[in-house]
Structure 1
């Protein structure tokens, strides 16, 4: 026992023999030079930099003064997008307040150079361009014009391109052959140039209130009941030859809603969306 006490006493005295470090030295580091000490490390507050907000997406609607195009413009404005339109006639004849918020360009897609200025700063494009006439005219309007637009948009680095095409109607396709050949040629070009950001909508009969001059034609009187009936007769679509005639009509607001979503939502799947897909997407809530 005495030996243990003796050892503890010795260890205590040996600890006491170490020199004491000054309290002032605890806040300084010894320098490599014997006659200097480093100053305490100081942290300066970083300067706050005011970064500009992320740029708003700009949408170009081709044929924005038409029946479908005008609804697309209105839907895009409601979503807070910057909206421009290009068509042969330029500014829309509509006197609705929203039309004043669209930048209207006049141009012809058969002359691609007229599209360049309209594509400045554009992140996505929706083409509503289409029409009827002779087979050669229909191919130019539905095919060549849209192909020119797709190529120009690709060269300008546009991210997404939505093309409003048309559903197959079986035997009807042969009656307006140039129309469908043009549509399908444009679809092929879009899937080639925009494999990850190209969306093709294939609605059937699009109904809504059309304006022809000062007249309003309420196509919904026919289209809305037909849509309800044909949605319940989907198996009839599989009938040979006449099956496509049972494709349900779709409201123009539903087409516009899905088109704008497809043009701005990066997770919207690329590819072809038939009329049933349009109806399904239009019923989903926007994020």
Structure 2
């Protein structure tokens, strides 16, 4: 009985010493941390003050810059599109057969000008480098076969090349249906419609077709500026409210209202850069609607 009591007292003494030593160590450790020092893991001596190294800087590339390629960017509509895109802070390149525009305005110096022919793939595909969206204003008049080639084949080549390059959005400036005029310019309209079909096939989620009628605005011809709005603006004001006349057989499409080139440029750039802009065909009334200020 005596031996058991001694054993119990001996064990109790060990536990008391253990807790006392642990408490002292804990108190010393807390004091060391408060003084900016730490205990070594292999002994009870105090190490040098804790040094915190500067975090490593990781080079993260900036988000990809939006770059727009305008096919026919030195023309009447194309030049306004280039200017509109620049005003929105978008990097802009232009491709045309003549290369740099003759426009001497300061904004033209901020365009990346390329020279090439859409009917010859070897002469222009490098212009697609880094491009995220394309707007085509390519078109022309002449013989029926020539009109089909310029309005149709050239644009089809561009659409296919852009799709292969991974371009996300493609906007095509087509033309409104003018009824009887379609038969007089058969190659022109057949080419336009063939390009539209190709675009909707290759870009089902990012392809937009604008179908304006007569486009008016200030047109630069050399050093001269032609104010095409003198006629177009009054007609737009009258005919945009006469939409029912557009349904009259044969002559109805002739009542399609003209549209300002600035309106076409604004909608084209928005369609090319706004990922939520709906794909498909936008007629002249849709162009006018998209350019109207939103009611509060």
TM-score (norm 1): 0.85
The match for 2:76 is: 67
Q: How far, CA to CA, are the matches of 1:284 and 1:148 in structure 2? A: 36
The match for 1:175 is: 184
The match for 2:270 is: 261
Displacement of 1:23: 5.2
- Contact map agreement 2:128 2:162 (CA 8 A) in 1: yes
Displacement of 1:172: 1.0
Q: How far, CA to CA, are the matches of 2:95 and 2:225 in structure 1? A: 24
The match for 1:112 is: 121
Q: Tell me the secondary structure at the aligned position of residue 263 of structure 2.
A: helix
- Contact map agreement 1:124 1:159 (CA 8 A) in 2: yes
Q: How does 1:88-237 map to 2 (within 5 A)?
A: 88-237=97-246
Q: Using a 3 Å threshold, how does the CA distance of structure 1 residues 192 and 23 change in structure 2: closer, same or farther?
A: farther
Equivalenced residues, count = 264
Which runs of 5 or more structure 2 residues have no equivalent in the other structure? 1-14, 31-40, 44-50
Q: How far, CA to CA, are the matches of 1:269 and 1:154 in structure 2? A: 18
- Contact map agreement 1:140 1:182 (CA 8 A) in 2: yes
Displacement of 1:78: 0.7
- Tell whether 2:85 aligns with 1:84: no
Q: Deviations over 1:210-242 (max 9, x none)?
A: 223333221101110111111111111122221
Q: Tell me the secondary structure at the aligned position of residue 217 of structure 1.
A: strand
The match for 1:12 is: none
Displacement of 1:140: 0.4
Q: Deviations over 1:123-154 (max 9, x none)?
A: 11100001111111100010000000001111
Q: How far, CA to CA, are the matches of 1:24 and 1:281 in structure 2? A: 75
Q: How far, CA to CA, are the matches of 2:26 and 2:224 in structure 1? A: 92
Q: Using a 3 Å threshold, how does the CA distance of structure 1 residues 273 and 23 change in structure 2: closer, same or farther?
A: farther
Displacement of 1:155: 0.9
- Contact map agreement 2:137 2:172 (CA 8 A) in 1: yes
TM-score (norm 2): 0.82
Which runs of 5 or more structure 1 residues have no equivalent in the other structure? 1-16, 29-34
Cα RMSD of the aligned pairs, angstroms, is 2.5
- Contact map agreement 1:115 1:152 (CA 8 A) in 2: no
The match for 1:250 is: 259
Q: Deviations over 1:108-128 (max 9, x none)?
A: 011122221111111111000
Q: Tell me the secondary structure at the aligned position of residue 22 of structure 1.
A: helix
Identify which range, 236-245 or 151-160, moves more after superposition: 236-245
Q: How far, CA to CA, are the matches of 1:186 and 1:145 in structure 2? A: 9
Q: Deviations over 1:80-107 (max 9, x none)?
A: 1111111011110111111111111110
Q: Tell me the secondary structure at the aligned position of residue 167 of structure 1.
A: coil
